[in-house]
Amino acid sequence: MPSVQALGTKQLCLFLLIVTLYLIATVAWFCLAIPPLTDNGSDAHLVGAFAGTALWIVSGYSIVIYVIRNA
C-alpha cells in the first residue's frame, strides 16, 4: 500500500492562491472581456478573444497537471 503524504501548509496555501486567482481571472475574462471583444466583430478583436480563451485553457490544464503531479 503506497504511503500517503500530508500536504504541507506552504503547498496548500500556494495551491489555494493559484486556484483563487484562476477563478477570479475566469470570471473576469468571460464576464468582462469576452462580450466587448465579440460584440465588436473586427478580426483583431476576435483573434484576441480566441487567444485569451486558448491561454485560459492552457492555464487550466497546467493547474490540473500540477495537482496530479504533486498528488
How far, in Å, CA of 37 to CA of 59, rounded? 21
Residue 8 included in any domain: no
The count of domains in the chain is 1
The model carries a pTM of 0.70
Is 6 within a domain? Answer: no
Task: Give per-residue pLDDT as tens, 11-51.
Answer: 888 888 988 998 999 998 889 888 887 787 788 888 888 88
**Contact predicate 48/37, CB 8 Å:** yes
* Nine cell digits for residue 61: 490544464
Q: Is the pLDDT of residue 1 over 50?
A: no
3-state secondary structure of 46: helix
Q: Tell me the per-residue pLDDT of 17-27, one tens digit each, with 9 for 90 and over.
A: 988 998 999 99
Domain assignment present for residue 62? The answer is: yes
- Domain membership of residue 7 (yes or no) is no
Residue 41's domain spans which residues? 14-70
Q: What per-residue confidence (pLDDT) applies to 58?
A: 93
